[in-house]
Every structure is written in C-alpha cells, then in structure tokens.
Amino acid sequence: MGGQIGDHGVITGKSGAMTVSDVQKTKDGKYMHIGVVTEGELSVEDEVTASVDAAYRQAICRAHLHPPAPEGAPHRARRPC
C-alpha cells in the first residue's frame, strides 16, 4: 500500500514456523505477513515469536537513507542506519 519495503524474517509457534518474505499494512490497519510455512502448521490465535532478518533490514535501511549520488557529485560521509 505504501512504498516502504517490508521486513523479512521468521514467525515461530509451538507447532510450526513460517518464513516471512513481506509485511503489508491492510486498509483497516492490520499487518499482513506474507510467506511460506516451513515446519508444521500455524493457526490464527497461536502464540508466536517473530524474528526480523536484521541483515536484510540493515541493507534496506542503507539503501533507503543513502541513494546513489549523481555522477560528479561531491562525496559526503555516510552515517550508519
């Protein structure tokens, strides 16, 4: 819905796990996790733990904060995300 790239990661529950490849916010304000169940099964109302792929998030952060400079532009120091 927006232009921001969603996180990647893993959602783990007592009886299964899911690899998340995208997260999108719905029109009614809920977050929808898109991915593939890689172990067992997950059900609505399961208690789960979500882990974000930190390396992927950091790479997206760097790309978002520091777009490529035009050819010939002066170099400036880049700060970390």
Tens digit of pLDDT for each residue in 31-42?
A: 899 999 999 999
62-70 long-range Cβ contacts below 8 angstroms, 24+ apart? 64/4, 64/5
Rounded Cα distance, 74 and 53, in Å: 33
- Reported as a pLDDT band with limits 50, 70 and 90, residue 8 is confident
> Contact 35/18 with Cβ under 8 angstroms?
yes
Tokens 């109302």, residue located: 45
The amino acid occupying position 36 is V
Rounded Cα distance, 57 and 9, in Å: 10
What average pLDDT score do residues 44-67 get? 79
Q: What is the pLDDT of residue 1?
A: 45
